[in-house]
Amino acid sequence: PGPQEPHDPTKKTLVVLGSGWGATSLLESLDTEEYNVFVISPRNYFLFTPLLPSVATGTLSAKSIIQPTRYMTRHKKRQVTVIEASATDVDPVNKIVQFKDTSEVQGLVSSTAMKYDYLVYAVGAETQTFNIPGVRENACFMKELDDAERMQRRFLDCLESAAFPGQSKEEVDRLLHMVVVGGGPTGVELSGELHDFLEDDLRSWYPELVDSIKITLVEALPSVLPMFSKQLIDYTESTFKEAKIDIMTKTMVKEIKEKSVVLQMPDRSIREVPCGMVVWAAGNTLRGVTRELMAKLPNEQTNRRGITVDESLRMKGADGIFAIGDCTATSYAPTAQVAAQEGAYLARVFKQLAKRDALRAELEELKGQTAPEGEQERKVRVETLESQVAKTDKTRPFKYSHQGSLAYIGSDKAIADLPFFSSGNLATAGVATYLFWRSAYLSKLFSLRNRALVANDWIKVKIFGRDVSRE
Ligand code: FAD
Ligand code: NAD
């Protein structure tokens, strides 16, 4: 089928690709009265990624950290159309986006196209595997909700298989060796959460096995958490040491087999280590659809890290496309904080664009008119409109305001690098920082409903412990 017509032809069509941090923050502040707004995303919900490792270990339930996108859009002034589909192609010249229903159940129509006036490209990134053999087949990821649920099942399966009667000591050790690859914040937070699960709950549920459980964090660089200050890196390393989480730095994973992981050690020797589960948290790479879009603009889009945007987040070389979040290559880190601020900024830009477009339309109409009696007045009005259009043409550049970096490291401890006045940096760590981490994340959740669910889960786990049933 050909491009669909927008539902109100007098309004411009704004298509938002994605329902993650960038897109949701935009939708939260966007004045939908000015546009026909369509949201296209394969996920019909927003996922609060910072708490994903807590789902993987059963501290939080999956539903507590997601919010249906319709929950947000139904409260908007004008209807927003939410479509559960993946964008498969963007034509930046004819301004058409193709999309496809990639879910399990499909109707008679499962792919179509839509014309846009403005496109907000916020599809995020996917997990980087560096094409290392066995990663896709044998490791769990930690990016989407499914990944966390899969990891939880695998972890509990390893425990139950280790508890199977007659298992040799060697096999028990293998099954209970959990390897986390990537010493960035995802890998560190997950290792900390696994340790909590072990200490708080598994010690009483599987007393005969618990001392055989081993957590190893493998990092290719000389230290974990390179984005944090030295003092917090040291603090994390010593907390992990106490928690008996092994950190192997300068060690690179070369292959993941069904029952082992192949490591290149600091002295470049190769060692094969048996394990029951590998979690792959080795960073981001671009999605195929983003690469293809960039390839259509070979002169302007040359950065292999992501989409190049100007200071107003417009994709270079494309008319009407704005790109935000993890799919872009900017001087900012690929974080939720950046994506959310960019989304909120774009909501303001669209307000201004709506004003400019209305002024332009009035100007065009006036220019086409002749008014023999009021010619002077018409001319004055045209001049006024022209200067107003010129003013609204200029958008204030996006400016990121860093609120600090926070990470949970297990054992009821968190680390925080916080900007202190204009120049300094305040590095804090420990139990108080952990309480700050909890309250900060609770307040950052987009809805009261999610806040209540997360707080309730925390209380539930405190009273009853984590659930060890394998769903
Ligand atoms: P995302 O939030 O990933 O959203 C992308 C959206 O696009 C999704 O809805 C996806 O379904 C959709 N999509 C995918 N393909 C298509 C397609 N073809 N067409 C249309 N839509 C598509 N950052 C922090 O600042 N603090 C933290 O504590 C933190 N913790 C994290 C913990 C984990 C486990 C992870 C994985 C990340 C964490 N991050 C954190 C990073 C943060 O989640 C990302 O930087 C952020 O999600 C980027 O926002 P985004 O909108 O660009 O992409
Ligand atoms: P990352 O890119 O920060 O870290 C991945 C790590 O994996 C790197 O240190 C890399 O050296 C290592 N690695 C890659 N290949 C390897 C291999 N073969 N063997 C061993 N190590 C290997 O990825 P992340 O932790 O998923 O974070 C992604 C983004 O999300 C970052 O910008 C991060 O700041 C953000 N994030 C922030 C928080 C937080 O603030 N609490 C939490 C999670 C993620």
The CATH number of whichever domain residue 339 belongs to comes to 3.50.50.100
Query: Is residue 115 a contact partner of residue 6, using CB atoms and an 8 Å limit?
Result: yes
Residue 468 included in any domain: no
Q: Average of pLDDT values for 61-84?
A: 93
Ligand 2 centroid–CA 149 distance in Å is 20
Which residues make Cβ contacts (< 8 Å) with residue 118, sequence separation at least 6?
12, 13, 14, 15, 35, 320, 321, 322, 350, 353
Query: Does residue 400 fall inside a structural domain?
Result: no
Structure token pair of residue 305: 């890290």
Mark whether 290 and 277 lie in a shared domain. Answer: no
Is the distance from the beta carbon of residue 18 to the nearest atom of ligand 1 less than 6 Å?
yes
Mean pLDDT of 448-459: 96
Q: Considering 254, 283, 312, which residue would you say is the last residue of a domain?
A: 283
Burial class (CB in 10 A: 0-12, 13-18, 19+), 428: middle
Distance 335 CA to ligand 1 centre (A): 8
Same domain, 158 and 234: yes
| pLDDT: which is higher, 322 or 6 | 322
431 Cβ below 6 A of ligand 2: no
Task: State yes or no: pLDDT of 89 exceeds 60.
Answer: yes
Q: Which of 336, 410, 432 is nearest to 188 (CA)?
A: 410
Q: Is there a domain that residue 111 lies in?
A: yes
Q: Is the CB of 87 under 6 A from ligand 1?
A: yes
Number of other CB atoms surrounding residue 185 within 10 Å = 22
Residues 279 and 302 in one domain: no
Q: How far, in Å, from the CA of 53 to the mean position of ligand 1?
A: 14
Q: Which atom of ligand 2 is nearest to the CA of 182?
A: 7
Domain that holds residue 85: 12-125+286-368
Q: Same domain, yes or no, for 138 and 241?
A: yes
Token pair in block for residue 116:
């846009």
State the pLDDT at residue 27: 96
* Dist. CA 246–CA 377, nearest whole Å: 79
Nearest Cα residue to 210 out of 227, 223, 194, 198? 198
pLDDT for 395? 87
**How does pLDDT run across 255-306, given as a tens digit for each residue?**
999 999 999 999 999 999 999 999 999 999 999 999 999 999 999 999 999 9
- How does the average pLDDT of the chain come out, rounded? 94
Q: Are residues 217 and 290 in the same domain?
A: no
Residue 362 Cα, ligand 1 centroid: separation in angstroms? 40
Q: Is residue 247 part of a domain?
A: yes
Give yes or no: residues 103 and 132 share one domain: no
Q: Which of 66-70, 282-286, 416-420 has the lowest mean pLDDT?
A: 416-420
Is the distance from the beta carbon of residue 73 to the nearest atom of ligand 1 less than 6 Å?
no
Within-domain flag for 302 = yes
Could you tell me the pLDDT band of residue 422, with boundaries at 50, 70 and 90?
Answer: low
| Angle, vertex CA 125, rays to CA 119 and CA 128, nearest 5 | 155
Beta bridge partners of 81: 38
- Of the listed ligands, the closest to the CA of 406 is 2
Instruction: Evaluate whether 260 touches 273 at the Cβ level (below 8 Å).
Output: yes
State which of 309, 343, 368 marks the end of a domain.
Answer: 368
* Residue 436 located in a structural domain: no
Q: Please work out whether the CB of residue 56 comes within 6 Å of at least one atom of ligand 1.
A: no
d(CA 277, CA 375): 79
- CA angle (42, 151, 285) in 5-degree steps: 50
Residue carrying the six token digits 């589909």: 85
pLDDT grade for 187, boundaries at 50, 70 and 90: very high
Q: Name which of 331, 302, 333, 335 is nearest 316 in CA terms.
A: 302
Residue 326 is predicted with a pLDDT of 98
What's the 49 CA to ligand 1 centre distance in angstroms? 7
* Beta-sheet pairing, 284-285 with 126-127: antiparallel
One domain for residues 112 and 132: no
Amino acid letter at 281?
A
How many domains is the chain built from?
Answer: 2
Question: What is the percentage of the chain residues whose pLDDT exceeds 90?
Answer: 85
ipTM of the complex: 0.98
Banded model confidence at residue 7, pLDDT cuts 50, 70, 90: confident
**Is residue 380 domain-resident?**
no
Confidence of residue 376 (pLDDT cuts 50, 70, 90): confident
**What is the token pair recorded at 287?**
């999605």
Q: Are residues 215 and 275 in the same domain?
A: yes
- Our CA dihedral for 414, 418, 424, 428, rounded to 10 degrees, sits at -20
Residue 76: its pLDDT value, please?
87
Do strands 214-218 and 177-181 pair parallel, antiparallel, or not at all (unpaired)?
A: parallel
Residue range 232-236: mean pLDDT, rounded: 96
Average pLDDT over residues 416-425: 80
> What is the structure's pLDDT at 423?
64
pLDDT tens digit string along 161-175?
Answer: 999 999 999 999 999
Which of 186, 253, 262 is the best mutation target for the ligand 2 pocket, counting ligand atoms within 8 Å of the beta carbon and taking the most? Answer: 186
Closest CA to 193 of 57, 77, 85, 96: 57
- Nearest atom within ligand 1 for CA of residue 40: 20
Ligand 1 atom closest to Cα of residue 50: 30
Tell me the C-alpha distance between 47 and 38, whole Å: 19
Are 39 and 140 within one domain?
no
Three-state secondary structure readout of the chain: CCCECCCCCCCEEEEEECCCHHHHHHHHHCCHHHEEEEEEECCCEEECHHHHHHHHCCCCCHHHHEEEHHHHHCCCCCCEEEEECEEEEEECCCCEEEEECCCCCCCCCCEEEEECCEEEECCCCEECCCCCCCHHHHCEECCCHHHHHHHHHHHHHHHHHHCCCCCCHHHHHHHCEEEEECCCHHHHHHHHHHHHHHHHHHHHHCCCCHHHCEEEEECCCCCCCCCCCHHHHHHHHHHHHHCCEEEECCCEEEEECCCEEEEECCCCCEEEEECCEEEECCCEECCHHHHHHHHCCCCCCCCCCCECECCCCEECCCCCEEECHHHECCCCCCCHHHHHHHHHHHHHHHHHHHHHHHHHHHHHHHHHCCCCCCHHHHHHHHHHHHHHHHHHHCCCCCCCCCCCEEEEEECCEEEEEEEECCCEEEEEEEHHHHHHHHHHHHHHCCCHHHHHHHHHHHHHHHHHCCCCCCC
**Would you say residue 6 has pLDDT above 60?**
no
**Mean per-residue pLDDT for 130-147?**
98
Is the pLDDT score of 179 beyond 60?
yes
- Give, in order, the Cα–Cα distances in Å from 271 to each of 41, 114, 267, 301: 42, 52, 11, 40
Q: What is the CA radius of gyration of the chain?
A: 26
Q: Is the minimum distance from the CB of 306 to ligand 1 under 6 angstroms? A: no
* Least confident stretch, 108-112, 209-213, 373-377, 416-420: 373-377
